[in-house]
Chains A and B, each alone.
Chain A
Amino acid sequence: MGKTLFDKVWEAHTVRELPNGMTQLLIGTHLIHEVTSPQAFGMLRDLNLKVLYPQRTFATVDHIVPTDEREEPFSDQLADAMIKELRKNCADSGIKFFDIASGKQGIVHIVGPEQGITQPGTTIACGDSHTSTHGAFGAIAFGIGTSQVRDVLATQTMALRKPKVRRIEVDGKLAPGVYAKDVILHIIRKLGVNGGLGYAYEYAGSTFDNFTQEERMTVCNMSIEGGARVGYVNPDQTTFDYLRGRPYAPAQSEYDTAVARWKSFASDPDAKYDDLVKYDASDIAPTVTWGINPGQAIFIDENIPAPGELQEKDRSTAEEAYAHMKLQPGKPIKGTKIDVAFLGSCTNGRLSDLQEVAKYLQGKKVRSGIKAIVVPGSQGVAALAESMGLAEVFRDAGFEWRGAGCSMCLAMNPDKLIGDQLCASSSNRNFKGRQGSPTGRTVLMSPLMVAAAAVTGEISDAREIFGLS
């Protein structure tokens, strides 16, 4: 019987079985950021422990960085204390820190791949639930809590139970105007926000085979929104080509050996899965959320479900969603007025996202009264986008072009919704209060759909606005 990539990576990284039956798993790559690491370093100091593998630990600052006034000290004293604490912890422990001045700072899940740190057949952990993003390279990547950040710092391992593996196959070609974001929103809608509990998701099928590396990252990124802590795609030529030449990727002279090793981790054709689901790419349309979790999603031309159309178990959350979103059940979502358009985040803040939007945005204008911001996922993305003239396209259209960070994805920096503003957002969470105002409202969608909403001032079908068909 064949093995899945998950099995193989798990086996290669198993240190031993712990007395409680859990597995002590080696974490090859540890990514840290300013929000979930300071307490872990504090715990380490309390226990008189040191960072075991500082050379396998990489840091960036993303959640709290301002995207406009980036000079230190930051106007927010708490944010300023956090970046200084991280800088100090990294310096004291000999950890590489992609600081703001490095030109490489950005969202941890964008920086890892961009620097070539994220590699196939490896294990990765980060104190952030969207660590599943790195699975796009055929890595097993876990989002962890602060105590586990401490565990990984001190021992380069953590205690885990092996999850089951569900293979999710999507086959066929996506229609124009339908993107990786729609694929994952569709999967979560179908399987539910906790359908992945206890599972790792293996994404496969011809749709994934044809996806770029960045599209795969968008899907893996949101695995956790479907309850799956881990999501991955088997590595292939697309992956190997993406990594070649990146700063932390294997040197050219060792590349072929590395590729051979990486290939050996891919799931065997006769691998056994605990579950299998299949979707047809041609059934998927541009998808938007109408509620307060990413599973409350519909196609752009569908109506917001009425309570009677929902399963009993989904009704109480739906009632809460109607009240919070101030949306009418049974009515179209299309045409809903927006106040803010946010383009960015670790789901859709990559170069290809910006390129795709810029392609259609040329000559269009953001509707007056709408606040529209683009926040590149990293300084690397920003620099490329600027050199390619994309920043200019966005600015000409009326978008604000900002510095790299998480920004309005969770609003720990000054970028926030005000009152009950409604935001068309390319991010991954539409939880109540997520974008900085407890009554603020978030509608998740693909980057091009965000641009369409920015241009029309309401939730729109990007295919109509930009003439795609």
Chain B
Amino acid sequence: MALTKISQLAGTGVYVPGDDVDTDRIIPARFMKCVTFDGLGEYAFYDERFTEDGKPKTHPIDDPKYKGATILLAGRNFGCGSSREHAPQALYRHGFRAVLAESFAEIFFGNAITLGMPCLVMDGRDIRALAALIDEAPQTEINIDIPNSQVSMADVSFPAKLPDHAREALVDGKWDAIADLLEGLDAVKSTADKLPYMRVA
């Protein structure tokens, strides 16, 4: 399966502050009643954006100032909680193509990479500094350089972290593991045959 190689990303950003933003907040469970992921985008952060009777609250991602942002900035332990892939899917379908945060929950991170949505870790101070830059010039593009793990905006650049395996997967266009896994099917069968419980139907 040939996938796009993801090495440079550019887009405007929006900062959604807060730590431990769980996947229930990224996509409330009631919107998971679906058999496809289509249409999830509009429900990203729904309960933070709308009151119970559907009136808009003020949320950064709805602020006209940040309209069209494709890079999401967040705090610590982003995407914790439920393993729902609906969460990165909702962000992706909302238009986000990368997330920069102080840290990520593990399952969310893996799910996002599998979608080809890079998640980079940055120092908290740098996140806030970048957020301040965005505030001043919201329509200036942020550049994400995956091979060099660097995030830059205007003439300021920040170091970012991405585990080697994720970086290679993105850069080589192998962020979706299925092709590699399918290549190993013979080895799968021989591993399974050695395990007694795999033989019991």
Check if B181 sits within 8 Å of A145, measured CB to CB. no
Given A36-B85, A229-B106, also A145-B20 (CB < 8 A): no
Check if A128 sits within 8 Å of B24, measured CB to CB. no
In the assembled complex, which residues on chain A have CB atoms less than 8 Å from the CB atom of B200?
A: 250
- Complex Cα distance, B118 from A6, in Å, reads 29
Return the chain A residue nearest B77 by Cβ. Answer: A194
Check if B28 sits within 8 Å of A145, measured CB to CB. no
Return the chain A residue nearest B166 by Cβ. Answer: A20
In the assembled complex, which residues on chain B have CB atoms less than 8 Å from the CB atom of A193?
A: 20, 77, 80
What 1/0 mask marks residues of chain A from 304 to 317 whose CB sits below 8 Å from any chain B CB? Answer: 00000000010011
B115 at interface, CB cutoff 8 A: yes
Check if A20 sits within 8 Å of B83, measured CB to CB. no
What 1/0 mask marks residues of chain B from 35 to 77 whose CB sits below 8 Å from any chain A CB? Answer: 1110000000001000010000000000000000000000111
Q: Give A118 Cβ to nearest chain B Cβ, in Å.
A: 11
Q: How many residues of B are counted as interface, with CB atoms below 8 angstroms from the partner's CB atoms?
A: 62
Check if A157 sits within 8 Å of B114, measured CB to CB. no
A284 at interface, CB cutoff 8 A: no
Check if A147 sits within 8 Å of B30, measured CB to CB. no
- Interface residues of chain A: helix, strand, loop or mixed (majority): loop
In the assembled complex, which residues on chain B have CB atoms less than 8 Å from the CB atom of A197?
A: 77, 103, 105-106
> Can you list 27 A-B contacts with CB-CB less than 8 angstroms, sorted by A residue number?
A12-B194, A15-B187, A16-B184, A19-B180, A20-B174, A21-B168, A26-B192, A36-B84, A53-B192, A63-B29, A78-B34, A122-B195, A147-B176, A151-B178, A151-B181, A155-B178, A155-B181, A156-B188, A157-B184, A157-B188, A224-B83, A229-B106, A293-B80, A412-B29, A431-B25, A438-B28, A438-B52
Binding site for A on B (CB under 8 A): 18-20, 22, 24-25, 28-30, 32-37, 47, 52, 75-77, 80-86, 88-89, 103, 105-107, 110-111, 114-115, 164-165, 168-169, 172, 174, 176-178, 180-182, 184-185, 187-188, 191-192, 194-198, 200-201
Binding site for B on A (CB under 8 A): 12-16, 18-22, 24, 26, 28-29, 35-36, 38-39, 42, 47, 49, 52-53, 55-56, 63-64, 76, 78-79, 81-82, 85, 119, 122, 127-129, 143-148, 150-151, 154-159, 161, 193-194, 197-198, 224, 227, 229, 250, 258, 261, 293, 313, 316-317, 320, 410-412, 419, 429, 431-434, 436-439
Which 3 A-B residue pairings sit nearest by Cβ, starting from the closest? A145-B85, A145-B111, A78-B33
